Structure 1
Amino acid sequence: MCLAGRAARIGGIGESIEPLQDFPSVAAVLVNPGVPVATPLVFARLERRDNPPMPPLPKLADLGALLAYLEDTRNDLEPPAVALAPAIGAARAALVSGGAGFARMSGSGATVFGLFGDDAAAARAAAAIRAAEPGWWCVPTRLGEAQPA
């Protein structure tokens, strides 16, 4: 996703990569609380490795469809990562408090993302988070569209 600059659905331990063709353009805020989280430690704390598969990916025509889909999914690595680095949970809570329609940890952490209804709401949330937590990396962005180089 980072190298290709496009949305993808990742599964397994990161080896399953499915590029998403029709991902909607969505206002988002990315937050990293600046705490190191070693991926091997996160996986070592994973309580279950036999979770049921994620629901099939529907057509994601807009933010509403994306939010509905995400509500039925999970990041199995989030609970062990938050146990190792509680600041991840605080960053996620800051996004929700800032008005995110959905927030979750990305990958094995420590970055979290929040999805917003528009760019202005994302910018306000990012500004509030930066003011409250100046040591955190926090940036508003858009997902689902090419970013300038």
Structure 2
Amino acid sequence: MSLVLGADVPMCLFALEDQQPLFVKGIGDDITPVKEACSLAMVLVNHGQYIATETIFKTLEKCNYSRLQIDTSAFKTVFSLVEFLQETRNDLFVSALKVAPQLAEVLYTLDKSGALFSRMSGSGATCFGIFKDRKAAQKAAFLIKSVYPDWFVRPIMTLGTR
């Protein structure tokens, strides 16, 4: 039932009950609890243009994508997680970029503000940057917001097990 409401709903319900980091794939239905994971200092950025998930999936090119192999030992440190994530992709990004070219500017801005890694979340329009620590994320958020006052910009810390 929760998946009918949206791809994020099962993950959110799972997280509320278990209060632990999760790795989610597919349409939000393939959820893997992560036993050991570091907290992450991140900045969330949304440029304000609505992106309809349905539109992204309609323009998605059909390909045979290889299944992602999860190595949860990579989640123990920020740097090992970033290394792992650099070998992954968001299959929806190319379609989303056609609808909202500003996504490229958001990711560029996160990278230039010191993100170790940046990516679009899900089908957009929110993007995230992972930073080495809370101070770096807060500084980046302040700088981004000062240049783009109309964007949604929030520094956050994720739940970790350490």
TM-score, with structure 1 as normaliser: 0.89
| CA-atom RMSD in angstroms | 1.7
Identity %: 38
Q: Equivalent residues in 2 for 1:1-149 (5 A)? A: 1-3=11-13, 4=15, 6-59=20-73, 60-145=75-160
Structure in which a larger fraction of residues adopt helix: 2
State the alpha-carbon separation in 2 of the partners of residues 138 and 7 from structure 1.
Answer: 22
State the alpha-carbon separation in 2 of the partners of residues 97 and 121 from structure 1.
Answer: 12
State the alpha-carbon separation in 1 of the partners of residues 122 and 45 from structure 2.
Answer: 13
Question: What whole-Å deviation, never above 9, does each CA across 1:16-41 have from its counterpart, x for those lacking one?
Answer: 22222222111110111111000011
Unaligned runs of 5+ in 2: 1-10
State the alpha-carbon separation in 2 of the partners of residues 118 and 111 from structure 1.
Answer: 21
Matched to 1:76, the amino acid is D
Question: What whole-Å deviation, never above 9, does each CA across 1:3-58 have from its counterpart, x for those lacking one?
Answer: 42543222223322222222211111011111100001111111134211113323
State the alpha-carbon separation in 1 of the partners of residues 33 and 63 from structure 2.
Answer: 24
CA contact (8 A) 1:55 1:72 kept: no
Unaligned runs of 5+ in 1: none
Using the TM superposition, give the Cα deviation of residue 69 of structure 1 relative to its aligned residue in structure 2, in angstroms: 0.6
Determine which structure has more spread, i.e. the larger CA radius of gyration.
Answer: 2
State the alpha-carbon separation in 1 of the partners of residues 104 and 21 from structure 2.
Answer: 24
Instruction: State how many pairs are aligned.
Output: 146
CA gap 1:141/1:23 in 2 versus in 1, 3 angstroms: same
